[in-house]
Amino acid sequence: MNRTFVFVATAAALVVAFVVGAILYRSARLEQQGAAAGANAEVFSRAHAPTLGSPQAKVVVVEFLDPACGTCAQFYPHVKALVRDNEGRVRVVIRHIPLHPGAGDVARALEASRKQGRYWQTLEALLSSQDRWVENHVASIERAWPVLAESGLNVDQLKADMNDPEVARNLQADAADAKALNVTMTPEYFVNGRPLPSFGLEQLRALVAQAVRDAY
């Protein structure tokens, strides 16, 4: 048999196997995630999680977020815009999964900032100044203190609140739900319990628009 033909056919077969495998894997994973979301419907309505937008909004976007995650920071203004542009119809619920090394402490500080009623200000301050306290994907709470102080928090109070058992309880609940939903990356979005078909801002916008059309 012609050697060139054998080579080209083998190369093509390997590439086709890769593409078919990728498509099968993605659809299986999406199905599995959707099934996990369906079986764990209560994880999308945890009372403890911070919520942006009207509590009556029928479209609920649950975002799993790491304060040290750069993509989360880039998505944040757009997620906020989704709530603003669909006023009263869309709300965002933030769940914390600090995946980066050192991000656990920052997530505790973020959780604790709620005791001073400054969760969203703190989140925005942290996300917009990641370059000051995240280096090489490693977060440092020491370097985040000045950012937190500048955002208007009482840092002494914050440090005390970080040891509150409620803070640990909330973070544990978030981690448990992330595990139940098989969330391993941030940001991860669920719109009324449905995962994004593939990752991307346009996919998120489309899924939210679809959910708004379905609900109103």
Q: Of 1, 2, 4, 202, which lies in the binding site for other proteins, with binding defined by CB under 8 A?
A: 4
User: Which of residues 53 and 98 has its CB atom nearest to other proteins in the complex?
Assistant: 98
Return the bridge partners of 92, or none.
Answer: 52, 61
Q: Of 12, 21, 35, 197, which lies in the binding site for other proteins, with binding defined by CB under 8 A?
A: 21
Q: Confirm if 90 and 212 have CB atoms less than 8 A apart.
A: yes
Residues that contact other proteins, how many (by CB under 8 A): 21
Q: Of 91, 95, 100, 115, which lies in the binding site for other proteins, with binding defined by CB under 8 A?
A: 100
Q: Under the criterion CB under 8 A, does residue 18 sit at the interface with other proteins?
A: yes
Which residues lie closer than 8 Å to 111 by C-beta, 6 or more apart?
96, 162, 167, 170, 171
Build a one-symbol-per-residue string for 76-95: x at contacts with other proteins by CB under 8 A, - elsewhere.
Answer: --------------------
User: Which of residues 5 and 165 has its CB atom nearest to other proteins in the complex?
Assistant: 5
For 45, 126, 209, the CA distances from 27, given in Å and listed in that order, are 26, 35, 22
C-alpha 197/C-alpha 206 separation (Å) is 10
Q: Is the peptide bond before 146 cis (omega within 30 degrees of 0)?
A: no
Copy the structure tokens of residue 30.
């999406």
DSSP readout, 173-210?
A: HHHHHHHHTT--SSSEEEETTEEPSSSSHHHHHHHHHH
In degrees and rounded to multiples of 5, residue 95 shows phi and psi of -120, 140
Build a one-symbol-per-residue string for 126-165: x at contacts with other proteins by CB under 8 A, - elsewhere.
Answer: ----------xxx---------------------------
C-alpha 31/C-alpha 27 separation (Å) is 6
Q: Under the criterion CB under 8 A, does residue 169 sit at the interface with other proteins?
A: no
User: Which of residues 9 and 35 has its CB atom nearest to other proteins in the complex?
Assistant: 9
User: Which of residues 63 and 188 has its CB atom nearest to other proteins in the complex?
Assistant: 188
- Options 17-25, 47-55, 104-112, 117-125: segment touching other proteins (CB under 8 A): 17-25
Q: Under the criterion CB under 8 A, does residue 96 sit at the interface with other proteins?
A: no
Q: Under the criterion CB under 8 A, does residue 185 sit at the interface with other proteins?
A: yes
Return the bridge partners of 190, or none.
Answer: 62, 195
Could you list the residues that contact other proteins (CB under 8 A)? 3-4, 6-7, 10-11, 14-15, 17-18, 21-22, 25-26, 100-101, 136-138, 184-185
